[in-house]
Amino acid sequence: MQRDATPKRLRRRWRFRGICADAETLGVHRNSLYKVLSGERQSRSLMTRYRALKAIRPKATKDSRP
């Protein structure tokens, strides 16, 4: 009896929802923003700009989709 090479995937969870759009708005690569948010890299200026962006941008919810 054969088995799958990889285990069945669990439902994906969003760690940082909208990170691609946020990175584009901030003018950085998605990977750079991800590393700063996850704590792998430190950047005070990027965190300050990210927090300011999140404060002015309304939160995306499932109900706001068309």
Structure tokens at 49: 């700009």
**Three-state SS for 13?**
coil
Digits of tens for pLDDT over the chain (66 positions)?
566 666 666 666 678 888 999 999 999 999 999 999 999 999 999 999 999 999 987 665 444 444
pLDDT for the residue numbered 30: 95
Based on its alpha-carbon atoms, the radius of gyration of the chain, rounded to whole angstroms, reads 16
- pTM score of the predicted model: 0.67
Contact of 34 with 16, CB cutoff 8 Å = yes
Contact of 51 with 28, CB cutoff 8 Å = no
pLDDT for the residue numbered 36: 95
Sort residue 27 into left (φ over 0), alpha (ψ -120 to 50) or beta: left
pLDDT for the residue numbered 34: 95
